[in-house]
Amino acid sequence: MTRLPKNRQDYCMKFCKTCALLLCAGKGERSGLDYNKIFYRLPQGITVLEKSIDLLALSEIDKIVLVISPSDEEIIKDFWQGDYAFGGQTRAHSVKNGLDFIAQKGGCDVVVIHDCARPYASVNLVNACIQSAQALGSGVAGVTPTDTIKRKNDDTIAENLDRNTLVCVQTPQAFDFDKLCLAYAKATYNETDDSEIFSNVAPAVVVRGEYTNGKITTCADLSIKVGSGFDVHRLVESRKLILGGVEIPHKMGLLGHSDADVVLHAICDAILSAANLPDIGVLFPDTDVRYEGISSAILLRQTVDFAKNNGYSLVNVSAVIMAEKPKLAPVIPKIRQSIANICQLPVENVNVSATTTEKLGIIGQEQGIAASATCLMKRL
């Protein structure tokens, strides 16, 4: 299924003014995925590939050519029915193959080169690069570094560089097509971007880039999600009080179909919420006899596994217990450790705090205990 507007699909290459090469051939080894990261589905529900195609399709571009890895050819056809060329050994070889493909089809005036792994560039940025290339021969997106950059000699700093004279080069990069082809005739193929190769014929012109136009290289760039959960249970006599998987001596306990561990229930809902899954009431209905009197530690363990099977792993948990009595401060470390064990997290990634409600409302009048939880999940 393509994300392209229909009228973009059958452009005639000849006479087209602006062509784009979308570089999709990277192996994405650093992404931590076992597939090309361009097929990663973004939180918006579309793949990195579709998002980048949409970006170029909405820009002032007449023709898009994908540069792909031969091993991705079949799967790419599910997303793209237009032209494509095969990538080469290095990035420079891949671009050269793309330029040759365009040349064979009659060439163009301006060629835009863009990394598929930068799906968040804006249409305005692509168009600014094109306009610069039309007027000045080139337009390369770049931003001033936010870190202080130094030149080193072995392990010592050899030179302090003025940040304002430096630029972090991104894509899109747009060039006069004929000039870039001339520059490629002198390429060593060790270059890591096209502005370096273009310098064989002229210095490239920098266009103000965007800090939001980051390149997806690692799993951490791909997706993290926050979830929150909340639960309340009624306090009654002759029930055990279990909070965070720990039995706490008290004259009353929480009423519920399971062991009524309000803390673990809030954590379950936080996890399910972040992972886009139905809540605990749907997953473990209180009408199901299998869950009668069950330890909520089992439910939380199953929830963590369920989220994992749906592509999300837990990073950290933060929970707040709202109770008038008993005093929870002495048992907090034990509760933290218990939650960490159930979730298989380091204890420093689990935090629990407790509060009263100043004798106000159902909590303050000791009719019940409530808990809220927040968690961070990482897309696998």
User: How many whole angstroms separate alpha carbon 354 and alpha carbon 62?
Assistant: 60
Buried b (16+ CB within 10 A) or exposed e, 92-127: bbbbbbbbebbeebebbbbbbbbbbbbbbbbeebbb
Which residue, 100 or 286, has its beta carbon nearer to Mg ion? 286
259: contact with Mg ion by CB under 5 A: no
CA dist., res. 258 & res. 294, Å (int): 5
To Mg ion, the closest distance from the beta carbon of 256 in angstroms equals: 6
Question: Which DSSP state fits 213?
Answer: -
User: Quick one: 1 or 289, whose CB is closer to Mg ion?
Assistant: 289
- Name the β-bridge partners of 247: 242
Residue located via tokens 């972040």: 274
Q: Is 206 helix (H, G, I), strand (E, B) or coil?
A: strand
Judged by CB under 5 A, the stretch of 79-87, 161-169, 186-194, 260-268 that binds Mg ion is 260-268
Distance CA 373, CA 321 (A): 9
CB of 269 to Mg ion, least distance (A): 8
The binder of Mg ion chosen from 8, 265, 336, 379 (CB under 5 A) = 265
Nearer to Mg ion (CB atom), residue 189 or residue 230: 230
Three-state DSSP state, 314: strand
Contact indicator for 138, 174 with CB cutoff of 8 Å: yes
Residues binding Mg ion: number (CB under 5 A): 2
Residue 360 C-beta: closest distance to Mg ion, Å: 22
- Closest to Mg ion by CB, 213 or 258: 258
Nearest approach in angstroms of CB 230 to Mg ion is 10
| Region from 141-149, 264-272, 332-340, 358-366 binding Mg ion, contact rule CB under 5 A | 264-272
The tokens describing 42, both together, are: 């973004």
- Which residues within the stretch 69-108 sit at the binding site for Mg ion (CB under 5 A)? none
Binding region for Mg ion (CB under 5 A) out of 114-122, 165-173, 184-192, 263-271: 263-271
Tally of CA atoms within 13 A in the half-sphere of 96 that contains its CB:
18
Token readout for 128 is: 């600014």
Residue of 128, 151, 268, 258 whose CA lies nearest to 206: 128
Give one DSSP letter per residue of 320-333, joined into a string: EEE-SSS--GGGHH
Q: Which of 224, 212, 265 minimizes the C-alpha distance to 379? A: 224
Q: Which stretch binds Mg ion (CB under 5 A): 198-206, 239-247, 265-273, 336-344?
A: 265-273
Q: Which is nearer to Mg ion, 113 or 266 (CB)?
A: 266
| Cβ atoms of 241 and 250 closer than 8 Å | yes
Closest CB 262 distance from Mg ion, rounded Å = 6
CB of 276 to Mg ion, least distance (A): 20
Q: Which stretch binds Mg ion (CB under 5 A): 97-105, 183-191, 261-269, 297-305?
A: 261-269
CB of 291 to Mg ion, least distance (A): 11
Q: Which residue is nearest to Mg ion (CB)?
A: 265
Residue 196 C-beta: closest distance to Mg ion, Å: 59
CB of 279 to Mg ion, least distance (A): 10
Q: Which is nearer to Mg ion, 110 or 241 (CB)?
A: 241
Q: How far is CA 297 from its chain centroid?
A: 30
Residues 329-358 that bind Mg ion (CB under 5 A): none
Binding mask 221-240 for Mg ion (x = CB under 5 A): ----------x---------
**DSSP assignment string, 184-199:** HTT--S--SSHHHHHT
By the criterion CB under 5 A, which residues form the site for Mg ion?
Answer: 231, 265
